[in-house]
Amino acid sequence: MKTICINCPLGCPIEVTESGGKILVRGNTCKRGHDYGVTEYLRPVRTVTTLVTREDGAVVSVKTSAPVPKDSIFELQRHIKTLRVPLAVKRGDTVERNALGLGADIVVTGVPPVAR
């Protein structure tokens, strides 16, 4: 697998391979780069930030309370689209616990201003 290390502006192009049960990282110039490579290879995770529709049709911004597996992002996004939050929802409220069993809650991060 090839990727770019995001730990610093250097942006080392790194390559991760596995042979004989051992994970090999090449191209990194520091320890953090090595660890990044291993994580990205074994279990890349991302915090998802997106929108949920409120009862009145407005959108409310949400995030996952913890990073979720990268390959589950679209499945999660499709699921979040089916959710509806009440008018009274506010920042910090949990919309759903342990969404899709991925181990992260869907949490409200911002609500739009009340329509004039």
Partner 1 sequence: MKETDVIVIGGGVVGCATADALARRGASVVLLEKGDDVAVGASRANSGIVHAGYDCEPGTLKARFNRRGNEMMWRLVRELNVPHRKCGSLVAAPEGGEEGLRQLLDRAKKNGVRAEIISRERALDIEPNLADKVSSCLYAPDAGIVSPYKLTIKLAERAVLNGAEVVTEAEVTAIACVDGKYVLSTQKGDFKCRVVVNCAGAGAAGINAAAGAETFETEFRRGDYFVLDTTEGCNVSTVVFPLPTAAGKGILVAPTADGNVIYGPTSVPVAGADTAVASDALDEIRRAVPLTYARPAFNKCIRVYAGVRAIVGHDFTVEESRLRKNFFTVAGICSPGLTAAPAIAEYLVGLIGEKMPLAERSDAVTVLPHAPRLTELSDDEINAFVAHNPAWGRIVCRCEKVTEAEIVAAVHSPVPAVTVDAVKRRVRAGMGRCQGGFCAPRVMEIIARETGVPLSAVRKGGAGSEIAVIKVGEADYD
Partner 2 sequence: MTDFDVVVIGGGPAGMAAALAADAEGARTLIVERDNRLGGILNQCIHAGFGLHYFGEELTGPEYAGRFVERVEKSRAQVALESMVLSLTDDRKVTYLSPEKGLVRINAGAVVLAMGCRERTAGAIALAGTRPAGVYTAGAAQRLCNIEGYLVGKRVVILGSGDIGLIMARRMTLEGAKVARVIELMPYSSGLKRNIVQCLDDFGIPINYAHTVTRIEGSPRMTGLYYAPVDERRRPVMSEEKYEPCDCLLLSVGLIPENDLLAGTEVERDGVTSGAVVDERRMTSVEGIFSCGNVLHVHDLVDNVSREAETAGRHAALYALGESETALHCYDARGERGVRYVLPQKLHADSGKVELFFRVDNVYRSCRIVAESGGRTLYSGRRLVLAPGEMEKIVVDTTGLDAPVTVRLEL
> Residue numbers of the site for partner 2 (CB under 8 A)?
3-6, 8-11, 29, 46-51, 53, 57-59, 61, 63, 70, 73-74, 77, 91, 109-110, 112-113, 116
Residue 11: name its binding partner from partner 2, partner 1, none (Cβ under 5 to 8 Å by kind).
partner 2
| In contact, 25 and 3? CB cutoff 8 Å | no
Nearer to partner 2, 69 or 103 (CB): 69
Residue 66: name its binding partner from partner 2, partner 1, none (Cβ under 5 to 8 Å by kind).
none
Complete DSSP assignment for 12-74: -EEEEEEETTEEEEES--SHHHHHHHHHHHH--EE--EEEEEETTS-EEEEEESS-EEGGGHH
Interacting residues with partner 1 (CB under 8 A) = 51, 53, 59, 74, 77-78, 81
Distances (CA, A) of 25 to 8, 29, 42, 53: 17, 10, 12, 42
Nearer to partner 1, 7 or 53 (CB): 53
Classify 77 as helix, strand or coil: helix
Nearer to partner 2, 29 or 94 (CB): 29
Compute the least distance from the CB of residue 21 to partner 2, in Å. Answer: 27
